[in-house]
Each structure stands twice: as structure tokens, then as C-alpha cells.
A and B are shown apart, each in its own frame.
Chain A
Amino acid sequence: MVVRLGSIEIEFRKRGTRPRYLAYLVPFVAVVVALLVGSVVLVSAGVDPLTAYLALFNTAFGNSYSLSETIVKAIPLMLAAMGTAITFLAGFWNIGAEGQLQIGALAATWATLTFSGAPAFVIIPWTMLVTFVAGGAWGMIPAFFKVKLGADEILTTLMMNYVAILAVFYFVYGPWRDPAAYGNPRTPLLPESARIPAILGTRIHLTLFVALGIAVLLYWLLTRTKFGLEIRIIGGNKDAAKYAGINVFKNLLLVTLIGGGIAALAGMGEVAGLHYTLPKGISPGYGYTAVVVAWLARLNPVAIPASAFLFGGLLNGGYGIQMVFAVPIALVNAIQALVLFFVLALSIFYEYNIVVRRRR
């Protein structure tokens, strides 16, 4: 394919093999270019990009406190992203991580209310179990709809996100509302025993290690087990999967159960590890950012924590800019989108090499 711009000719030539360095180069360039373009947006709002980005990096990675806060934000991102990634690998376009996260938060809150007197080593595993099951069930529903009724999963998962968010609103404003919290609607504060402990001196709750463990587990699952192979076959070519005798329905249900459960754990982390309550707005769109996080990491569970760290930094830094320049946090979403644009745009290089010529 040849693209002509004036007197310059750009030819896209299909590659024979894919160089390994591309997997690192493409995301890196994408992020850099996104930031550059983002500075244009900043300028349009009358903000000096250099100062703004300095503030961003400082708040994100500048000192040990910044780093710890970035990690705090990275935790729900990596969980939501892993949940998303594993379903994407099966060819199931699950955009429902946001809703699964909310349902997870809801389920975790409920779990802590059931055994309020019990010690931590009972409550916390119980909470994790309830959260995983609830998120998994929520995640499985669109898979069921897809296989049995042919309903497009992008739309069902998206719609269910709205429903989940509204469900949380309902409980937070309604039956679970803490009368002690006036202007700031939330559920009652969690008892000590229900709180996930954090690393001393920081807000980094131990859910982080659960997340990292899941990353390793997922990688092992995808590369070493039959199930992992089957998932990748389904995602690669559904017809071939059926031809090979793979039970697509069962596998899709299983993968969306796992994916939904993992994403739900993100919600649990926020409730039981960070805020110790269920507030009205538990997520600034982590579930959607997770899609970008997952894609930047090329759906590889082991690369996701790094990608999540990057976006955690972006989010954290965004709050920094917001405080200093009164720039709304929505800017961060725009920059995230820019990163995704450039990752997508640059992805063509995985398949094609370009040759630039001057036309005679």
C-alpha cells in the first residue's frame, strides 16, 4: 500500500518477521507523542505545558510519597486491566470492567457488613470470595447473552456499566447511607478487622500483592495450561476453535467469570483497602482507563502492572495539575485517549515496515 503526500511517497511493506524491540518501542513513542499533543490541548486552555508537565511528573513520580500514591492508583487499574485483557484474549470485547469494579465494591461492602464481629483472617478472605463471585456473575451475563442470543458484548457490557453505577448510587444514597456523613454521602466506615492492611507509612494496601500474584497466575494460565491455549484459540479464530472440538460457550463463561471477578477485586481494594467505605464516586473511570492500560501492555498480564503504573502516574499527576492550575481532571482522560490513539496508529508498524521515498 502506498500513500502519497505531495512529492513524498510512503510505502507500507508487509513484514516477514516482527522485531522484538517493537513491543517496547511502540508504547514508549505513543506515550511521548501523546504527551506532546496533549500540550497543545493545554495551550488552548491557556496553560503553559512545560510547567504543567513538570507539575505532573513531580506529583506522579517526584518523591517517595508521589510514587506511593501512584502505586495506590495503579492497583485498581492493574486489576481492572487484567480482567479486561483476559476476556479480550478470548475475542470477547468486554468493556464492562467499570461496572464489574462497581459491583465488586458493592459486594465487598456487603460482605463486611455480614460478619462485622469476626476477626480479619475470616472477613478479608470472605470479602475477596464474595467480591470475586459477584463480579464474576456480573461479568458472565453478557457472555451468556452473546452466545445464546447473539447480542453484541460491547453494548451489553457498556449498558451494564451504567446500571452498576446507578446501583451503587442507590445503595449509597439509600439503605446503606451513613447518617453520620452529611455533605459527603457514603456508607458507614469499615470496622478495623475488615480493612485491608497497608504498607506502613503509605496508603499502598496489600491488594497490590494480590494483583501482582494474579498477574503471574494469569501468565502461567495463558501459556502453560490447556485452558489458556483454548482461550487463545477461541480469540484467534472461533471457527477453528469449534473445529478443534473446543466448547466455546463453556470457555467464554469461564473466562468472563474470571475476568469479571478480577476486575471486581479492584472495587474491593478501593473500598476495603483505601477509603474504608463505599463513597458515591468510587471510580474516576478506572474501568475505561483499564482498556487503554491493557492494550498498551498488548494484553500481556506480566506487562500490565508496568502499564498500570504509568497510567496511575498520569492520573496522580493529573490531580496535581488540577490543584495547581485549576485544570479539570478530564484532561487526563483526554491524554489517555491520545495515548490509545497513538498506540493504535503506531501498531501498523507491527505488520508493516515503511519506506519513504521522494517521487520523481
Chain B
Amino acid sequence: MGPRRIVLYINRNPSSTRRKVSELQETESAAAVVQMKGITKTFPGVLANDHVDFDIRSGEIHALLGENGAGKTTLMNILYGLYQPEEGEIYVDGRRVIINSPKDAINLGIGMVHQLFRLIPSLTVTENIVLGLRSSRRPFLDLDVAEKKLTDLSDRYGLKVDPKAKLWQLSVGEQQRVEILKALYRGAKVLIMDEPTSVLTPQEVNELMVIMKKMAAEGLAVIPFVTHKLREVMAISDRITVMRRGKVVATIQTKTTNERDLAMKMVGRMVLMETETVKVPSERAILELERLRAINDKGLLALEDVSLSIRQGEILGIAGVAGNGQTELAEVITGLRKATGGRILINGKDITNRSTREIMEAGIGHVPEKRVETGVVPDLNVRENLILTSYDDPSLSSRFLLERASIDRHVDKLIADFGIMTPSKDSQVRLLSGGNLQRLILAREVTRKNLSALVTVYPTRGLDVGATEFIRNTLVSLKKKGVAILLISEDLDEILSLSDRIAVVFKGRIMGVLSASEAKIDEIGLMMAGAVKAE
């Protein structure tokens, strides 16, 4: 790691500044650990990477920024050997390399920490880390040797974790450390991190940033790539590369930019950083939860004395780190899990522990967290999936029979109104993209006849700008119609941008409820980590 150069630019002539910056990059790129030049990759119908250049030096944190679909995931997957580019070269330590598989990448010192951890819950930390590696005592395992090496690594980088623990016993933050250790154990000099902070509490984010700085200080190169989290990117990175529609829009020193500038580069136009706030129409409570209790699949208490009330036309966001009862909360309200105590009322009617059917009929819609696993039947066609939760409605069917003509009319309207891209009503739903799937599910739930309340869980996860905007607009228009919306999400930014009020959940208890305008990130962060709201 060479000496850091501090350069001052007087910004009188923007074009010469740009020239100077690129000159600087050229001289320094010789010291780059990884260099990607002219990378081009197409998928059916999509130019994912269009002559992309990217490089990173040792000891640097170089963030890659771009919306879903901008191409950053593809670029990183190419670096990690999951895809092969059609054009372009990759250089590691100045040598041209071909990376055909993750194994090649790992051999070259490139490691990846995924957003959805690639870990096996039933195995221990050590087992997870040595998985796929040659044991020193072949054919037998050498877990004790591995443990020692692990402990050394974790001390060096401040990644504390118990090697003997079974993975399912660890918290999300701890599991992430295991993911990082996995890469470091394999000798990673370059660490690619996919949305590293999206599942962490603000405090854990700070801890992670400390770890990242420490890794950089030890000479590692870190590439966090993210969709938003502009604040964090500004705080942690040395350089930022912004991608949009498959091309690199800019590669800049972090010092020379700000959040607004980045956002504009990402989207290409002025972006409203805050969504318009619509006043909540009334004070009438539509969906009320009174002292709700429930047990999770492991037999432990998932919800403890949860009391909330969501008013007509209000969006109540539930913030919290994954695994604190959000899933169970959505399940209990929609009848997929039994409440062991407390009540749920919709429009004053008690629907606690009623069947899902009855709850649906009482006016509650559900946009589930897992689109493909829960929200649709992949082998059935678009028509059938669009009536999945509404086929019982008298306008679509009689006592036993389906009314084909009415169904077709209804389905056609939904496809048109919600912009669902599909070759035909008869195509199988498994062919649809993520964004279209969500449009389908939303179309289905949002147009239900007597919808009073909607439970929606992480609605914009993994979707591109267009789809995300569409969904947010749909929720806002739903709000205007007076529907009470319960928005559960692990993404704090999503909650902040949409909610009227925010409730923070920790270990199944509501730590506090704030109005969005008053909410301060650190306060929410503290609540997410277990501190109770200061009165």
C-alpha cells in the first residue's frame, strides 16, 4: 500500500479537472490490484454491461453504485467468475487473467460476501468456513487446525465469532462476519461486498464500517456495491463508481461529490429525495393489534404484547432487523400463524385466529415477502395467478364454477392498468421477471373489492427504478383511497421514504412508535438494537 496522495483541485475549469482526474487515475492504475477494461456482457434482450471500466487498488474502498438493473451486479459476478464477458479484459496485479468460475476468482484472491448469506444453518461456523477446502488431514477433516487459523483471522480484523457455534444460532451481524471470514480464510485480497449493510442495524453498520476500514488498513481492497445507502457510501469509500443502464457514468473521488450529485448520476435526472407527504385523511383506526403474542417455528416467543393501530389512509412502517418478529407479525395478521394471545381487529371486527379466507373476506390484503415461494404458483398461468386470491368473488365465479368471461375481462384490465409485461394471459408465471411478478401480485391485492388494509412485506426488494417507483406510487394512491397500509421492511430507507409513522420492532416487542417527520436515524437505530424510546 503506497502513500496516499492528497490532491487539491481548484474547480475553475471543470473539463481540465476531469482531465486531471483521469490522468491521476492512469498513473495510479498501475498500482491497481484489479483492473477491468471494456467489459461487455449481454443477456437475452438486455445489454447488462457496456464497455465498463473499473479498477481498485489495495488498501482502497471503492464503492460501486447503481440501481437494480444498472449492471453492477453483473459486473461483480463477472469479476467473481459467475459469468464470462463477451468483450473486455481483467487484470489482477497487472497480469491478464480469465476467470471462469468462483474457484478461479478465489485462487486469484478475489472473494465475495453476498447479501443473502451463502451459509448452511445446520453446520457449525468452522464447518461452513472450511466447506469446499482441502483438509490438511485428507480425507479426514481438520477442524481443530481450521479453528486456530480462524481465530487468528478474526482477532486480526476484529470479526468476533464462536467457531463452534451452529450457524442458525448466530445473529445476522455475526453471520455476516462468518461470510467475511469465509473469504478472508481463502486468502482474499479483494473483497466484493453485495449490499453489506442492508440487513444490519445502524449500530451494526457502524461496526462493519470499522471492520472495513481495518481491512483496508491491512492492505485489502474492498468493493462494496449498493443500490442506495448513499450516506454510507459517502462515509466509507475512497472512490465511487456510478453505473446506469449498463454503462459507467462516472468514477470519482468521494471527496469531490455529495449525495445529491450521486443520486442524479444514478438516475439521470433530478430525484426527489423525499416522496411527497400526503396527509392522513382521518383518525379512524382500521387495523388494530392489541397485545398480540405469537410463537415462532422454533417454539420461541416471536411476538410479545404487540399493540399497534393503523389509521385509515395511513402507512405504518415496521422497522427492524430481520428476524425480530416481522415475518411472524405478517403471518399472524393474515391468518398464516396462530396468535397465542391478544386480538386483531379490522374495522372493529375481531379476526384473531380466523382462517385466512375469513381474514381476506374481512378486507385484508397481503403482498408477501417471498414473491415466488408464497405469492404465486409458478406453473400456473398469468390469468390463474391474477385471480389467486379473488376467484371466490361472486363477480368471478358462482358457487362451484368459474365465470370464464368475467375472469378474462378482469384479468385483461389488470394487465393493462398495472403494466404487467407478459406474452399472453396463458403464459406461465415462472417466465415473468421479478418486477412484473410484483406488479401482478400488487394488481391482484390492491384491486380487491373490499380492501380496508394491506400488509406488504419488503415490497421493493430487488427491483429496478421503474418498478420501485411504480410500487411506491401504487401504495401512495392506495393511501389516498383510505386503505390502511402496514409496511414491513428491513430497508430503513424504504420505510422512511413511505411511512407516516414508524414502529420499531426488537425481539418481538414494539420499542416505540414515531411519526416519520420527527424520526431521527440514530434514535431508530437504537430502538432496533433494543433500547426503548426516550419519553
Q: Taking beta carbons and an 8 Å cutoff, which residues of A are in contact with B?
A: 16-17, 224-227, 229, 232-233, 236-237, 239-247
Query: A242 contacts which chain B residues (CB < 8 A)?
Result: 336, 356
Query: B392 contacts which chain A residues (CB < 8 A)?
Result: 226
Query: A227 contacts which chain B residues (CB < 8 A)?
Result: 400
User: B71 within 8 Å of A by Cβ?
Assistant: no
Judge whether B357 and A245 touch: CB under 8 Å: yes
Q: Which of the residues B355, B356, B379, B384 comes within 8 Å of A243, measured between beta carbons?
A: B356
* A245 to B374 CA separation, bound complex (whole angstroms): 12
Q: Which residue of A lies closest to B359 (CB)?
A: A245
Q: Contacts A226-B401, A227-B400, A229-B391 hold; do A243 and B374 have CB atoms under 8 A apart? A: yes
* A247 to B336 CA separation, bound complex (whole angstroms): 11
Q: Taking beta carbons and an 8 Å cutoff, which residues of B are in contact with A?
A: 334-336, 355-357, 359-360, 366, 368, 373-380, 384, 388-389, 391-392, 397, 400-402, 404, 423, 427, 431
Q: Which of the residues A226, A239, A243 comes within 8 Å of B366, measured between beta carbons?
A: A243
Which 7 pairs, one residue from A and one from B, show the smallest C-beta to C-beta distance?
Answer: A245-B357, A236-B377, A245-B356, A237-B377, A236-B379, A239-B374, A244-B389
Q: Which residue of B lies closest to A228 (CB)?
A: B402
Judge whether A243 and B375 touch: CB under 8 Å: yes
Judge whether B378 and A239 touch: CB under 8 Å: no
Judge whether B400 and A232 touch: CB under 8 Å: no
* A226 to B357 CA separation, bound complex (whole angstroms): 14
Q: Which residue of A lies closest to B390 (CB)?
A: A244
* A232 to B387 CA separation, bound complex (whole angstroms): 13
Query: A241 contacts which chain B residues (CB < 8 A)?
Result: 377
Judge whether B402 and A229 touch: CB under 8 Å: yes
Question: A237-B379, A240-B377 provided; 14 other pairs, C-beta below 8 A?
Answer: A17-B427, A226-B391, A226-B397, A226-B402, A233-B384, A233-B388, A236-B377, A236-B379, A237-B378, A239-B373, A240-B388, A243-B356, A243-B374, A245-B335
* A236 to B376 CA separation, bound complex (whole angstroms): 9
Judge whether B400 and A240 touch: CB under 8 Å: no
Q: For the complex formed, measure the closest distance between the CB of A149 and the CB atoms of chain B, giving whole angstroms.
A: 18
Judge whether A237 and B376 touch: CB under 8 Å: yes
Q: Which residue of A lies closest to B389 (CB)?
A: A244
Q: Which of the residues A17, A225, A243 comes within 8 Å of B401, measured between beta carbons?
A: A225
Q: For the complex formed, measure the closest distance between the CB of A207 and the CB atoms of chain B, giving whole angstroms.
A: 27
Query: B375 contacts which chain A residues (CB < 8 A)?
Result: 240, 243
Judge whether A17 and B356 touch: CB under 8 Å: no
For B377, B379, B391, which residue has the most chain A Cβ atoms within 10 angstroms?
Answer: B377
Q: For the complex formed, measure the closest distance between the CB of A92 and the CB atoms of chain B, giving whole angstroms.
A: 16
Judge whether A236 and B378 touch: CB under 8 Å: yes
Q: Which residue of B lies closest to A241 (CB)?
A: B377
Q: Contacts A17-B427, A240-B388, A247-B357 hold; do A224 and B380 have CB atoms under 8 A apart? A: no
Q: Which of the residues B335, B360, B373, B423 comes within 8 Å of A17, measured between beta carbons?
A: B423
Majority secondary structure of chain A interface residues (helix, strand, loop or mixed): helix
Judge whether B355 and A247 touch: CB under 8 Å: yes
Q: How many A-B residue pairs have CB under 8 A?
A: 69
Q: Contacts A224-B402, A233-B380, A237-B376 hold; do A245 and B391 have CB atoms under 8 A apart? A: no
Judge whether A224 and B401 touch: CB under 8 Å: yes
Q: For the complex formed, measure the closest distance between the CB of B88 and the CB atoms of chain A, giving whole angstroms.
A: 22
Q: Which of the residues A16, A236, A239, A246 comes within 8 Å of B380, measured between beta carbons?
A: A236
* A225 to B398 CA separation, bound complex (whole angstroms): 9
Q: For the complex formed, measure the closest distance between the CB of A163 and the CB atoms of chain B, giving whole angstroms.
A: 34
Q: Which of the residues A233, A243, A245, A246 comes within 8 Å of B368, measured between beta carbons?
A: A243
Query: A233 contacts which chain B residues (CB < 8 A)?
Result: 377, 380, 384, 388
Judge whether B374 and A240 touch: CB under 8 Å: yes
* A225 to B397 CA separation, bound complex (whole angstroms): 9
Q: For the complex formed, measure the closest distance between the CB of A46 and the CB atoms of chain B, giving whole angstroms.
A: 46
Q: Which residue of B lies closest to A234 (CB)?
A: B377
Q: For the complex formed, measure the closest distance between the CB of A167 and the CB atoms of chain B, giving whole angstroms.
A: 36
Query: B359 contacts which chain A residues (CB < 8 A)?
Result: 245
For A236, A240, A242, A244, which residue has the most chain B Cβ atoms within 10 angstroms?
Answer: A244
Q: List 10 A-B contacts (CB under 8 A).
A: A17-B423, A225-B402, A226-B402, A227-B400, A232-B384, A236-B378, A237-B376, A240-B388, A243-B375, A245-B357
Query: A246 contacts which chain B residues (CB < 8 A)?
Result: 357
Q: For the complex formed, measure the closest distance between the CB of B181 and the CB atoms of chain A, giving whole angstroms.
A: 32
Judge whether A243 and B336 touch: CB under 8 Å: yes
* A232 to B335 CA separation, bound complex (whole angstroms): 22
Judge whether B384 and A229 touch: CB under 8 Å: yes
Q: Contacts A17-B423, A224-B402 hold; do A245 and B360 have CB atoms under 8 A apart? A: yes
* A233 to B391 CA separation, bound complex (whole angstroms): 12
* A243 to B368 CA separation, bound complex (whole angstroms): 9
* A240 to B336 CA separation, bound complex (whole angstroms): 11
* A226 to B397 CA separation, bound complex (whole angstroms): 8
Q: Which residue of A lies closest to B428 (CB)?
A: A18
* A80 to B373 CA separation, bound complex (whole angstroms): 32
Q: For the complex formed, measure the closest distance between the CB of B25 and the CB atoms of chain A, giving whole angstroms.
A: 38
* A247 to B377 CA separation, bound complex (whole angstroms): 16
* A17 to B404 CA separation, bound complex (whole angstroms): 24
Q: For the complex formed, measure the closest distance between the CB of A223 and the CB atoms of chain B, giving whole angstroms.
A: 8
Query: B366 contacts which chain A residues (CB < 8 A)?
Result: 243
Q: Which residue of A lies closest to B372 (CB)?
A: A237
Q: Which residue of A lies closest to B380 (CB)?
A: A236
Query: B357 contacts which chain A residues (CB < 8 A)?
Result: 245-247
Judge whether A245 and B355 touch: CB under 8 Å: yes
* A229 to B380 CA separation, bound complex (whole angstroms): 10
* A340 to B376 CA separation, bound complex (whole angstroms): 30
Q: Which residue of A lies closest to B397 (CB)?
A: A226
Query: A247 contacts which chain B residues (CB < 8 A)?
Result: 355, 357
Query: A17 contacts which chain B residues (CB < 8 A)?
Result: 423, 427, 431
* A232 to B376 CA separation, bound complex (whole angstroms): 12
Q: For the complex formed, measure the closest distance between the CB of B47 and the CB atoms of chain A, giving whole angstroms.
A: 19
Q: For the complex formed, measure the closest distance between the CB of A225 and the CB atoms of chain B, giving whole angstroms.
A: 5
Q: Which residue of B lies closest to A18 (CB)?
A: B428
Q: Which residue of B lies closest to A239 (CB)?
A: B374
Q: For the complex formed, measure the closest distance between the CB of B50 and the CB atoms of chain A, giving whole angstroms.
A: 24
Q: Which residue of A lies closest to B444 (CB)?
A: A244
Q: For the complex formed, measure the closest distance between the CB of A165 and the CB atoms of chain B, giving whole angstroms.
A: 35
* A239 to B369 CA separation, bound complex (whole angstroms): 12
Q: Which of the residues B355, B356, B400 comes within 8 Å of A225, measured between beta carbons?
A: B400
* A232 to B383 CA separation, bound complex (whole angstroms): 13
Query: A245 contacts which chain B residues (CB < 8 A)?
Result: 335, 355-357, 359-360, 389
Query: B397 contacts which chain A residues (CB < 8 A)?
Result: 226
* A182 to B185 CA separation, bound complex (whole angstroms): 79
* A17 to B424 CA separation, bound complex (whole angstroms): 11
Q: Which residue of B lies closest to A220 (CB)?
A: B401
* A233 to B380 CA separation, bound complex (whole angstroms): 8
For A225, A241, A242, A243, which residue has the most chain B Cβ atoms within 10 angstroms?
Answer: A243
* A233 to B378 CA separation, bound complex (whole angstroms): 10
Query: B380 contacts which chain A residues (CB < 8 A)?
Result: 232-233, 236
Query: A236 contacts which chain B residues (CB < 8 A)?
Result: 377-380
* A346 to B423 CA separation, bound complex (whole angstroms): 26
Query: B389 contacts which chain A residues (CB < 8 A)?
Result: 243-245
